[in-house]
Amino acid sequence: MSKKVYIETYGCQMNVADSEVVVSILAGSGYEPTENINDAGLILINTCSIRDNAEQRIWGRLKAISHLKKRKHDLKIGIIGCMAERLKERLIETDQLVDIVVGPDAYRELPLLVAESEAGHKAVNVLLSREETYADISPVRMDKNGVSSFVSIMRGCNNMCAYCVVPYVRGAERSRNPESILKEVNELIEMGYREVTLLGQNVDSYKWDNNSGIVGFPGLLENVAMLNPLLRVRFSTSHPKDISDDLLYTIAKHGNICKHIHLPAQSGSSRILKLMNREYTREWYIDRINAIHSIIPECALSTDMITGFCTEAQEDHEESLSLMDLAGFDFAYMFKYSERPGTKAAKKYKDDIPENIKSERLSEMISLQSKLSAKSKKNDVGKVFKVLIEGLSKRSKEHLSGRTSQNKVVVFPGGNHKKGEYVKVLIERSTSATLIGNIV
Ligand code: 5AD
Ligand code: SF4
């Protein structure tokens, strides 16, 4: 009987991509993925440390899963990903819930570590690497739609944002060989995929030095886009300090590079940005969005925002709101600041904004963004967009759902069209989250 692994993924898109690498590595030693947790002999939780509530959620889940061991004594449970390094002692020693702990750069060791745990030992490897990019591993695609997929182009991060745990849990930045990236994208095209998202913590600093010179992110993006005009290319995440005009011209030049940039501002106050060690000011950020609008007029913009960072005064908060208003973001992820042990902010500044103020500021931000999102969708009414069909709409079987290049969800009566096809849709109305229209 084949062995079965069940993998549950938390956190960012990078973790989703990593889980696919993990499944591929385990397949090499006879493990087959299952979607039914009760069938599994090995359960892996791919974890996130970005905020305290992400970790709390995983602890809760781990307690629930560990009950399964009562029924199945040989069941092994592993924690992989970002919580591994930070919490290895607690995971293995104090809580006794976990058999295997593996950090994001040690996945190749998984077969060995699983074998070790089957032999009755606790198995741990949380070493970070300066080289590992899993370049040669073909991820096993776990997405359900078969239309869009993630491709990781680099790992780790060298930006020391004061609040952020990523450099500590995922290590230093390293780029992946462009040939292996193009090969992976080609395989996806052959499998029928129509969209890839190139992933990195800071894609603008992608850099590969080979014999014929240096490949930067604009060059890589262009090469991926040129593989097939039917393939849409997205990327995430850009850093405002590094996003270059060169990149913007590359996006403008290719119809199949999506006109959407996720450009996390984090704050609209230059004083807070300095404390956050973001290396740009409010004015710089505004200059970058002006450049985006002038080089790529139809480009959508989204952001991440943090409220209640150390020392944030009411004026700073208002500057965040006014920046959001000025940028007119199409979409935003907004968070309350959560102190992470070991970061610069945790060591140097006091987490001094009371929880109730953080919450108030966050709800103000969320209500502003819902107005901006609704406005951005209203603006699309009456326009025609090329939509890549992703599948049936959640609400009705007669409707299909897909996305515009700007990453907005469109729902429309599908006729005989199928997922993976492109159709032109005239937008007739919008709700807060969706554009609704008809094929023209
Ligand atoms: N507290 C709150 N939000 C954070 N982020 C990163 N670290 C923290 C933290 N300590 C947010 C940032 C980042 C996104 C992925 O998560 O906005 O862009
Ligand atoms: Fe992704 Fe960061 Fe969370 Fe790790 S800690 S899963 S890199 S968001």
pLDDT tens for the 440 residues of the chain, in order: 569 999 999 999 999 999 999 999 999 999 999 999 999 999 999 999 999 999 999 999 999 998 998 889 899 999 999 999 888 888 877 667 899 999 999 999 999 999 999 999 999 999 999 999 999 999 999 887 899 999 999 999 999 999 999 999 999 999 999 999 999 999 999 999 999 999 999 999 999 998 888 999 999 999 999 999 999 999 999 999 999 999 999 999 999 999 999 999 999 999 999 999 999 999 999 999 999 999 999 999 999 999 999 999 999 999 999 999 999 999 999 999 999 999 999 999 999 999 999 999 999 999 999 999 999 999 999 999 999 999 999 888 899 999 999 999 999 999 899 999 999 999 999 998 899 999 99
Closest to 304 (Cα-Cα) out of 365, 234, 372, 371: 365
For residue 231, how far is its CA from the centre of ligand 1 (angstroms)? 31
pLDDT attached to residue 412: 97
Is any atom of ligand 2 closer than 6 Å to the C-beta of 17?
Answer: no
Ligand 1 pocket test, pick from 16, 48, 50 with the greatest ligand atom count within 8 Å of Cβ, gives 50
Are 401 and 410 in contact by the 8 Å Cβ rule? The answer is yes
Ligand 2 near 23 CB (within 6 A)? no
Q: Ligand 2 pocket test: pick from 154, 166, 168 the residue with the most ligand atoms within 8 Å of its Cβ.
A: 166
| Residue recorded with tokens 């104090």 | 94
How many helical (H) and strand (E) elements, i.e. helices and strands, does the chain have?
14, 21
The ligand that comes nearest to the alpha carbon of residue 46 is 2
Ligand 1 site-directed mutation target among 335, 343, 365, most atoms within 8 Å of CB: 335
Please report how many Cα atoms fall inside a 13 Å half-sphere around the Cα of residue 158, on the Cβ side.
12
- pTM for this predicted structure: 0.96
Residue 8 Cβ inside 6 Å of ligand 1? The answer reads: no
Kindly give the distance from the C-alpha atom of residue 337 to the centroid of ligand 1, in angstroms, as a whole number. 7
164 lines ligand 1 (CB under 6 A): yes
Q: What's the confidence (pLDDT) of residue 275? A: 98
50: CA distance to ligand 2 center in Å? 5
The one-letter amino acid code at 215 reads: V
pLDDT recorded at residue 239:
97
**What would the two tokens of residue 197 be?**
């998202």
